[in-house]
Chains A and B, each alone.
Chain A
Amino acid sequence: MKTTPFLTLLAALLAVSNPLHAQDLGEPLGDGGVVEDISIAGEDQVSEEGGAEDDGPLRGTVTDESDWEDLGIAIPAFATDRDRPTPANADGTQALGQEIARVITANLRNNGLFKPTGPDSLPSPTFPQITAPAYSNWNGRGAEMLVHGYVRARGDDRLVVGCYLYDVALQDELIREGWVVRPADWRRAAHKCSDLIYARLTGEDPFFDSRIAYIAETGPKDNRVKRLAVMDSDGANHRFLTLGSATALTPRYSPDYSKILYLSYVDGNPRIYVYDIGSGQQTLVTENTSPTIAPRWSPDGQHILYSMAVAGNTDIYRVPVSGGRSTRLTDTPGIDIGGSYSPDGSRIVFESDRSGTQQCYVMDADGTNQRRITFFGGRCATPEWSPRGDQIAFTRIAGDFNVAVMTPSGSNLRVLTDGWQDEAPTWAPNGRIIQFFRTTRNAGRSSLWQVDLTGRNERRLPTPVDASDPAWGPIRP
């Protein structure tokens, strides 16, 4: 009994001296697993292996202006060779096959392109049928496309997931791929399969197997608790990375997902930190007493842009990710802030009020050739260059705040949303969908939304609590 107070005291001392806790950091996420490609068997694998079946997109390129098509896709449960226990699902690999098909169905439904039907209203194919579909069962279900797949627990506990796309009318396999994943990464196999289907049917680049960093918000409007959080592109695998004792803002995933740049008030001042996802440790982006805000990565992950206020005047700086000397890129008396690289890294679009109001400017990556690109009458804020390079998304301020896109020269401006305050667009890895956050008037509640480039397919992303400042990472390796 005597030791109890001592142990309590010791525990308290340990808690106080824990450096991660002192930095408002939670448990580290750890390094992610690797998804390994594996060759899988097809319907007539001998004759078709290496054949010219995958000869490009089936339905042509979807352009910005064209509406998506309603293509019926049946996605029954993935089969398993033998129902075995797996850490991925308490009910075994057969139940897991059902879950995988549900994830794919939700992915394809939520983006306004397809009309998917999921496993809960479809018969389940047998394991042999995965490579030899019973087409007669699928005719007349309104499905032009059929997704089949299997999940198999390997001896080393890893899962093999196969994914097949069939054209029901042609009775032909369009594409197939397989992956080996840790049980904890089973959703990634479902996302890889979704990406395979999406890319094959649209001709666009994939985007489902990606993650989102954002700020989770709770508490009253005048004292919001703001925590750094991450999740998969569909909202699953949600994790808080900071504890909430210090305000966290504006995260950005590094291109290789190993780090997150974000702003924290942990020392009482707004400063940019480089958070290492594997170790859960963080360092200041630059050793300087001035506040640093608006962090951004270069496309190759080798440089960081940050904005620093010196005696009240904010300019944009670049620093190597390995540390070293910062280079100042802007030097006007106005607020120069943010910055988003073109995908080739040669140019930067940024925000400046040197003209009297917030407007968007483009400069070369070394800071030369700065020129204004927006003249539409309102204000231009938070510009983000599309991963495809052909568009710049930004917050258009003209009365209300909306998400809009334009070309890198500032032409062809199109407004995509109509909320009261829609702010801070971030691009899907394939440059086809934009995420942003929406704040409600008076209550100040915030939530994440996404919209496609037509502006017609808008939806809210479910998050455990209120959410803002989304930052969409690239496709995972």
Chain B
Amino acid sequence: MTFSFLKSAPKAATIAVLTSAIALGACSKKAPEELPPPPVNTPAPTATPTPTAPTGPAVGTQGHFQNAVGRSSVIYFDTDRFNIDSSDAAALQAQAQYFARFPQLTFTIEGHADERGTREYNLALGERRANSAKNYLVSLGVAPERIRTVSFGKERPVALASNPGAWAQNRRAASIIVN
């Protein structure tokens, strides 16, 4: 209700793809820290239902986060840039409010680049983007210890075509709930 959902149009429609890509991400295959936590660690969902998702996914899941913030779980960048523009700022404010409401949650920010860059440079660029998003969230009051960053460079695109529209969707920093 107080959340801001404003986001520019071309960034739409990536969320569903993104969610499944994350779930299938090769690197998360065996990593135990990415599994959902045991139920004892989370408040009983029925006891504290969230206004936006009364019967949806539990707190501590990516689904719950995305139900709450909508498209704002991902921010996008211009070619070779890593600055936070006004729409990124609005999205990160929505994320910050969510993380303020659920202070027990930790999360990872994945930095990504489009395919039109060399591999190593893109890994460094993804680092920059993830850290830009992290620094902005920290400036909004999210504790830095709650935020892990990781760069995937151009290794994990969500839009698979080779055109400017697809590249714009792949230049992103995505927040992923750990627990």
Q: Which residues of A contact B (CB under 8 A)?
A: 219-226, 245-247, 249-250, 263, 265, 268-270, 291, 293-294, 307, 309, 311-314, 335, 337-338, 351, 353, 357-358, 381-382, 395, 397, 401, 421, 423-424, 439, 441-442, 444, 468-469
Per the bound structure, the CA–CA distance linking A131 and B178 in Å amounts to 72
Per the bound structure, the CA–CA distance linking A380 and B87 in Å amounts to 31
Is B127 on the interface with A (CB-CB < 8 A)?
Answer: yes
Interface members, chain B 92-140 (any A CB < 8 Å): 115-116, 118-121, 123-125, 127-128, 130-132, 135
Given A335-B124, A337-B124, decide whether A223 and B25 contact each other with a Cβ distance below 8 A. yes
Q: Given B116, B119, B121, which contacts A335 in the complex, CB threshold below 8 Å?
A: B121
Residues of A with C-beta under 8 A to B25: 223
The answer to whether B24 and A223 touch across the interface, beta carbons within 8 angstroms, is yes
Interface members, chain B 24-48 (any A CB < 8 Å): 24-31, 33-34
The answer to whether A382 and B120 touch across the interface, beta carbons within 8 angstroms, is yes
Per the bound structure, the CA–CA distance linking A239 and B156 in Å amounts to 25
Residues of A with C-beta under 8 A to B27: 246-247, 265, 268
**Identity of the chain B residue whose Cβ is nearest the Cβ of A226 in the assembled complex:** B155
B18 CB to nearest chain A CB (Å):
10
Residues of A with C-beta under 8 A to B158: 222
Given A312-B127, A312-B128, decide whether A444 and B160 contact each other with a Cβ distance below 8 A. yes
The answer to whether A222 and B160 touch across the interface, beta carbons within 8 angstroms, is yes
Residues of B with C-beta under 8 A to A223: 21, 24-26, 156
Q: Given A249, A250, A291, which contacts B127 in the complex, CB threshold below 8 Å?
A: A291
Per the bound structure, the CA–CA distance linking A381 and B125 in Å amounts to 13
Given A309-B124, A442-B162, decide whether A249 and B119 contact each other with a Cβ distance below 8 A. yes
Given A223-B21, A224-B155, A269-B150, decide whether A312 and B130 contact each other with a Cβ distance below 8 A. yes
Q: Given A225, A270, A307, A395, which contacts B118 in the complex, CB threshold below 8 Å?
A: A395
Q: Given A250, A268, A397, A442, which contacts B120 in the complex, CB threshold below 8 Å?
A: A250
Q: Given A351, A353, A358, A442, which contacts B161 in the complex, CB threshold below 8 Å?
A: A442
The answer to whether A268 and B31 touch across the interface, beta carbons within 8 angstroms, is yes
Q: Which residues of B contact A (CB under 8 A)?
A: 21, 24-31, 33-34, 80, 82, 115-116, 118-121, 123-125, 127-128, 130-132, 135, 149-151, 153, 155-158, 160-162
**Identity of the chain A residue whose Cβ is nearest the Cβ of B21 in the assembled complex:** A222
Residues of B with C-beta under 8 A to A397: 118
The answer to whether B157 and A222 touch across the interface, beta carbons within 8 angstroms, is yes
The answer to whether B121 and A423 touch across the interface, beta carbons within 8 angstroms, is no
Per the bound structure, the CA–CA distance linking A444 and B31 in Å amounts to 27
Q: Given B26, B121, B127, which contacts A247 in the complex, CB threshold below 8 Å?
A: B26
Per the bound structure, the CA–CA distance linking A225 and B26 in Å amounts to 7
The answer to whether A245 and B160 touch across the interface, beta carbons within 8 angstroms, is no
Residues of A with C-beta under 8 A to B123: 249, 263, 270, 291, 293-294
**Identity of the chain A residue whose Cβ is nearest the Cβ of B149 in the assembled complex:** A312
Residues of B with C-beta under 8 A to A335: 121, 124-125, 128
**Identity of the chain B residue whose Cβ is nearest the Cβ of A293 in the assembled complex:** B123
Residues of A with C-beta under 8 A to B28: 268
Per the bound structure, the CA–CA distance linking A314 and B129 in Å amounts to 12
Known A270-B153, A424-B119, A469-B119; further 5 A-B contacts with Cβ < 8 A: A249-B155, A263-B123, A270-B150, A293-B124, A424-B118
Residues of B with C-beta under 8 A to A444: 115, 160, 162
Pick 21 A–B contacts, CB within 8 A, sort by A. A222-B21, A222-B160, A225-B26, A226-B155, A250-B120, A265-B27, A268-B27, A270-B150, A291-B151, A293-B123, A293-B124, A309-B131, A309-B151, A312-B82, A312-B127, A314-B124, A337-B120, A353-B121, A357-B80, A421-B115, A424-B118
Per the bound structure, the CA–CA distance linking A381 and B149 in Å amounts to 25
Residues of B with C-beta under 8 A to A357: 80
The answer to whether B120 and A293 touch across the interface, beta carbons within 8 angstroms, is yes
Residues of A with C-beta under 8 A to B150: 268-270, 291
Residues of A with C-beta under 8 A to B161: 442
The answer to whether A245 and B26 touch across the interface, beta carbons within 8 angstroms, is yes
Per the bound structure, the CA–CA distance linking A373 and B123 in Å amounts to 23
A106 CB to nearest chain B CB (Å):
30
Per the bound structure, the CA–CA distance linking A206 and B34 in Å amounts to 50
B47 CB to nearest chain A CB (Å):
32
Given A245-B26, A269-B150, A441-B162, decide whether A222 and B156 contact each other with a Cβ distance below 8 A. yes
The answer to whether A309 and B118 touch across the interface, beta carbons within 8 angstroms, is no
Residues of A with C-beta under 8 A to B116: 401, 421
The answer to whether B120 and A294 touch across the interface, beta carbons within 8 angstroms, is yes
**Identity of the chain B residue whose Cβ is nearest the Cβ of A268 in the assembled complex:** B31
The answer to whether A307 and B155 touch across the interface, beta carbons within 8 angstroms, is no
Per the bound structure, the CA–CA distance linking A245 and B162 in Å amounts to 26
B178 CB to nearest chain A CB (Å):
11
Residues of B with C-beta under 8 A to A219: 26
Closest 8 CB pairs of A and B: A312-B131, A309-B127, A314-B124, A381-B118, A441-B162, A294-B120, A335-B124, A265-B27
Residues of B with C-beta under 8 A to A268: 27-28, 31, 33-34, 150
Per the bound structure, the CA–CA distance linking A219 and B160 in Å amounts to 13
Residues of B with C-beta under 8 A to A263: 123
The answer to whether A337 and B121 touch across the interface, beta carbons within 8 angstroms, is yes
A221 CB to nearest chain B CB (Å):
5
B123 CB to nearest chain A CB (Å):
5
B171 CB to nearest chain A CB (Å):
15
Most buried by B among A263, A268, A311: A268
